């Protein structure tokens, strides 16, 4: 897969003005412009995220109805059951709400579905088993339920109210829940909401103690949201759970209920960071604030489950986006991928390290097992596709085999997409109904496409870039044909070549410690706020290339343009073509620490012959 290089337009005059006003290097100013930030107030908020800039939780659709129903359950001593999901987002959102509602006087239970036996989402099998285990008249569906029309109608007929807290796309018609707290249900504009009118304010504090979680909203928040936009669509369910917790504490304080004034939401931000980063939602808008504050909380967290998981993952340094995405997240996901996520939830809720460490160690073992299963399926899927893939005809990849483990099909889809750069759905599972998971590329809304294929599917749901489905084996070929038909209408050939978006052309001498420290102000990086990527032209090798790694799959270089040189590493270069002579290099700069020494290292993204 070869990239199409896309260099952001240089704007030296604007970058110079911003650099002067903000006292930052012009290169950082250019990177801010590339991320759509050119106005000083927005840049200042971006570079200094603050919890006080979070908006009123009651701006979310149906939040008032959800809070009202929950408080009625509390007043009448009703049992409330959280029906969660088995990924990191669903588990952290469930844990957060358990840690808020139970101490504040609610009778709480939780139920996490079994991926293998009950499928994904608010399935009829999962709900039936949940109600057999717990008697309740109020089910709080977390990270699921936005397309569960029949299941929620069945619950209603049985006298069970459903409150849905979810961020996935909503079916049409929408489920008849008591409250559907989902940003996509918003049909109103921020500037028409009372909380966004001049003079409105709401300070969520802990008895007005300094240094505790202060979350004001109102006019300050209104200035930061474009008029007419739908708020909160970037939030995952962990972020929405934090919003619900904020709303509950706010309402409880208005009612002068015991315990509400003293309750501090800030320690829950470690869970929000885990869910937000692991769910790959954009780290923009309120997510940037939550991820920034959540990572700070995560690094000082006294939560036994986090400490145990860090030990199992052998994390000794600062936790950042990488550690959450590639070390903590996969271990929390491992239980739900292979069976049931209850072990991960119990880990996060553990009260002592003695309780938490065996759970973390078992998740680590399950993660290694997951990696072996995944590796085998990836190799099988890639081998089959390499033999038959036609880049001119295949716009969407749909592959399925009964033996493929349904717990890893989403990861396999990501690996296949990385090689072929096509929207990809991988399907597995035996005993009749099969289940699949898909990943997409820019320009192809996978969830919308599956809605157009609804007649071929048992169930489906998700986002534009990731979705899940259940399907009968006989319909897989028809699904492949229909999705390719849809993709040919919406995707151009140029859409099928991944773009490598570069922030600026730089000299190697610009890549120094001081510059990198300044660029760190853009962190945390993620979807919507990618790591900085640059290119240097006409570089050459200062020494011969060196193959490294157990299988010699990585390449280490020393590149120079005469005046300066840097070490560069191309991870998983494999058998790719390697540069010789003069070449242009695309890279992400980073600081490498090894054996007590530190140096600027370039992470190679791509190379090409020099432009003449």
Asked, for residue 372, whether it belongs to a domain, the answer is no
Same-domain pairing of 99 and 120 = yes
Residues 238, 101 share a domain: yes
504 and 486 within one domain:
no
Annotate 505-567 with DSSP letters as a single string.
E--GGG-SHHHHHHHGGGPSPBTTBPPP-EEEEEEEESS--EEESTTS-EEEEEEE-SS-EEE
Helices (H), strands (E): how many in the chain? 21, 21
Position 215 pLDDT exceeds 60: no
Which three-class secondary structure string do you get for 401-455? CCCCCCCCHHHHHHHHHHHHCCCEEEEECCCCCEEEEEECCCCCCHHHHHHHCHH
What is the spatial distance between Cα 392 and Cα 53, in angstroms, rounded to a whole number? 48
Q: Please check the confidence at residue 51 and state whether its pLDDT lies above 70.
A: yes
In whole angstroms, how far apart are CA 289 and each of 50, 53, 265, 293?
A: 6, 8, 14, 6
Confidence band, pLDDT 50/70/90 cuts, at residue 309:
very high
- 439-465: pLDDT as tens digits: 999 999 999 999 999 999 998 988 889
What's the DSSP call for residue 87?
A: S
Q: Is residue 449 part of a domain?
A: yes
pLDDT at 187 (0 to 100)? 52
Helix 12-22 × helix 40-47 angle, to 10°: 60
Here the CATH number for the domain that contains residue 579 is 2.40.50.460
How far is residue 309's CA from residue 373's CA, in Å, rounded to a whole number?
22
Chain centroid to Cα 2, Å, comes to 26
Nearest 5°: CA angle at 108, between 105 and 109?
Answer: 170
Band of the pLDDT at 228, cuts 50, 70, 90? very low
Q: What is the pLDDT of residue 216?
A: 34
CATH code of residue 180: 3.90.1640.30
* Average pLDDT of span 14-32: 97
pLDDT band at residue 210 under the 50/70/90 scheme? very low
Task: Specify whether 224 is located in the same domain as 153.
Answer: yes
In a domain, 9, yes or no: no
- Cβ atoms of 100 and 245 within 8 Å: the answer is yes
Q: Which residues face 583 on adjacent strands?
A: 539
Let me know whether 115 and 144 are in one domain.
Answer: yes
Supply the CATH number for residue 422's domain.
Answer: 3.10.310.30
The pLDDT value recorded for residue 203 is 33
- Residue 210 falls within a domain, yes or no? yes
Last residue of a domain, one of 247, 268, 289: 268
* Residue that finishes a domain, picked among 496, 515, 538: 496
Cβ count near 239 (within 10 Å): 31
pTM above 0.85, yes or no: yes
pLDDT at residue 224 is higher than 50: no
Q: Are strands 179-181 and 215-218 parallel, antiparallel or unpaired?
A: unpaired
Distance CA 600, CA 144 (A): 44
Confidence of residue 245 (pLDDT cuts 50, 70, 90): very high
pLDDT digits (tens, 9 = 90+) for 475-516: 999 999 999 999 999 999 999 999 999 999 999 999 999 999
Calpha distance 484→399 (Å, rounded): 13
Q: Are 446 and 457 in the same domain? A: yes
- Tell me: do 412 and 509 sit in the same domain: no
Say what the pLDDT of residue 117 is: 85
Q: 336-352 pLDDT, tens per residue?
A: 887 789 999 999 999 99
Q: What is the pLDDT of residue 340?
A: 82
The burial class, CB within 10 Å (0-12 / 13-18 / 19+), for 338 is buried
Total of domains in the chain: 3
Nearest one of 58, 66, 68, 55 to 180, comparing CA atoms: 66
Q: How confident is the model at residue 595 (pLDDT cuts 50, 70, 90)?
A: confident
SS (H, E, C) 162-201: EEEECCCCCCCCCCCCCEEECHHHCCCCHHHCHHHCCCCE
Please report the pLDDT score of residue 346 as a whole number: 97
Query: 3-state secondary structure string, 305-372?
Result: HHHHHHHHCCCCCCCCHHHHHHHHHHHHHHHHHHCECHHHHHHHHCCCHHHHHHHHHHHHHHHHHHHH
User: Does residue 564 fall inside a structural domain?
Assistant: yes
Whether residue 67 is found in the same domain as residue 210: yes
Lowest mean pLDDT, pick from 163-167, 182-186, 187-191: 187-191
Q: What is the pLDDT of residue 63?
A: 97
pLDDT of 197 strictly over 60: no
- Note whether 154 and 130 are within 8 A (CB): no
Please give the pLDDT value at position 562. 83
Task: State residue 275's pLDDT score.
Answer: 97
pLDDT for position 205 = 35
Any domain includes 129: yes
- pLDDT tens readout for residues 375-396: 999 999 999 999 999 999 999 9
pLDDT at 1: 56
Does residue 603 sit in helix, strand or coil? strand
Task: State the pLDDT confidence band at 56, using cuts at 50, 70 and 90.
Answer: very high
pLDDT at 116: 80
| Percent of the chain surpassing pLDDT 90 | 82
Share of the chain above pLDDT 70, in %: 92
Cα gap 480→460, rounded to integer Å? 15
Cβ–Cβ < 8 Å for 443, 494: no
pLDDT band at 186; cut points 50, 70, 90: confident
Residue 42 belongs to some domain of the structure: no
CA atoms within a 13 Å half-sphere pointing along the CA-CB vector of 385: 28
Tally of residues, the chain: 612
* pLDDT above 70 (res 223): no
Look at residue 190 and tell me whether its pLDDT is greater than 80.
no
Contact 569, 602 (CB under 8 A): yes
Residue 47 has pLDDT above 50, yes or no: yes
Q: What is the DSSP letter of 381?
A: H
Preceding amide of 524 cis, omega within 30: yes
Q: Is the residue at 25 inside a domain?
A: no
Q: Are residues 151 and 256 in the same domain?
A: yes
- Mean pLDDT (the chain) is 91
Do 448 and 574 lie in a common domain? no
| 457 and 603 fall within a common domain | no
pLDDT of residue 7: 97
Tell me: do 66 and 177 sit in the same domain: yes
User: Taking the mean position of all CA atoms in its chain, how far away is CA 207?
Assistant: 33
Q: What is the 3-state secondary structure (H, E, C) of 26-39?
A: HHHHHHHHHCCCCC
Q: Does residue 213 have a pLDDT over 60? A: no
CA–CA separation, 44 and 28 (whole Å): 13
**Domain housing 428:** 389-496
Give me 242's structure tokens.
Answer: 């934090």
The answer to whether 449 touches 430, Cβ cutoff 8 Å, is no
User: Pick from 268, 292, 312: which residue ends a domain?
Assistant: 268
Q: Is the pLDDT of residue 295 over 90?
A: yes
């Amino acid at each position: 897969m070869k990239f199409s290089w896309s260099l952001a337009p240089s704007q030296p005059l604007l970058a110079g003005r911003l650099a002067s006003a903000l006292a930052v290097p012009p290169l950082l100013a250019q990177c801010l412009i590339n991320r759509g930030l050119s106005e000083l107030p927005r840049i200042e908020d971006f570079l200094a995220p603050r919890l006080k800039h979070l908006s009123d939780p009651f701006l979310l659709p149906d939040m008032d109805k959800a809070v009202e129903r929950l408080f009625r359950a509390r007043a009448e001593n009703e049992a409330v059951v959280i029906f969660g999901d088995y990924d990191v987002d669903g588990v952290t959102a469930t844990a957060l709400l358990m840690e808020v509602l139970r101490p504040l006087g609610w009778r709480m239970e939780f139920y996490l579905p079994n991926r293998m036996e009950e499928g994904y989402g608010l399935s009829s099998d999962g709900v039936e088993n949940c109600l057999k285990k717990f008697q309740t008249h109020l089910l709080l569906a977390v990270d699921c339920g936005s397309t569960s029309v029949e299941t929620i109608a069945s619950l209603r007929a049985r006298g069970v109210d459903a409150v849905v807290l979810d961020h996935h796309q909503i079916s049409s018609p929408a489920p008849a829940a008591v409250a559907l707290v989902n940003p996509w249900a918003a049909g109103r504009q921020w500037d028409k909401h009372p909380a966004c009118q001049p003079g409105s304010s709401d300070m969520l504090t802990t008895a007005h103690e300094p240094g505790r979680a202060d979350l004001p909203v109102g006019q300050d928040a209104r200035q930061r949201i474009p008029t007419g936009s739908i708020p909160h669509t970037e939030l995952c369910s962990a972020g929405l759970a934090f919003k619900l917790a904020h709303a509950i504490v706010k309402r409880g304080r208005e009612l002068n209920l015991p315990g509400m004034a003293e309750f501090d939401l800030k320690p829950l931000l470690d869970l929000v960071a885990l869910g937000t980063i692991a769910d790959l939602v954009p780290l923009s808008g309120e997510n940037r604030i939550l991820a920034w504050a959540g990572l700070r909380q995560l690094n000082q967290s006294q939560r036994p489950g986090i400490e145990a998981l860090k030990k199992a993952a052998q994390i000794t340094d600062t936790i950042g986006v990488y550690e959450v995405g590639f070390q903590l997240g996969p271990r929390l996901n491992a239980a739900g991928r292979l069976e049931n996520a209850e072990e991960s939830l119990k880990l996060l809720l553990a009260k002592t390290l003695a309780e938490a460490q065996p759970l973390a160690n078992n998740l680590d073992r399950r993660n290694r097992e997951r990696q072996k299963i995944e590796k085998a399926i990836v190799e099988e899927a890639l081998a089959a596709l390499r033999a038959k893939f036609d880049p001119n005809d295949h716009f969407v990849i749909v592959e399925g085999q009964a033996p493929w483990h349904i717990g890893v099909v989403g990861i396999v889809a990501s690996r296949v997409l990385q090689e072929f750069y096509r929207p990809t759905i991988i399907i597995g599972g035996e005993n009749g109904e099969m289940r699949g998971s898909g990943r997409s590329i820019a320009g192809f809304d996978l969830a919308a496409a599956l809605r157009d294929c609804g007649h071929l599917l048992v169930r489906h749901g998700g986002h534009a870039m990731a979705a899940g489905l259940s399907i009968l084996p006989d319909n897989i070929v028809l699904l492949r044909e229909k999705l390719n038909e849809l993709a040919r209408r919406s995707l151009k050939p140029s859409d099928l070549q991944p773009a490598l978006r570069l922030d600026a052309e730089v000299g190697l001498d610009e890549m120094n410690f001081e510059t990198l420290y300044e660029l760190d102000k853009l962190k945390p990086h993620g979807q919507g706020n990618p790591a900085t990527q640059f290119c240097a032209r006409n570089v050459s090798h200062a020494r011969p290339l060196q193959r490294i790694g157990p299988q010699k799959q990585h390449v280490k270089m020393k590149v120079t343009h005469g005046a300066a040189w840097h070490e560069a590493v191309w991870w998983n270069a494999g058998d790719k073509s390697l540069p010789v002579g003069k070449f242009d290099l695309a890279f992400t700069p980073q600081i490498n620490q090894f054996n007590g020494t530190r140096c600027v290292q370039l992470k190679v993204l791509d190379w090409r012959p020099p432009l003449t």
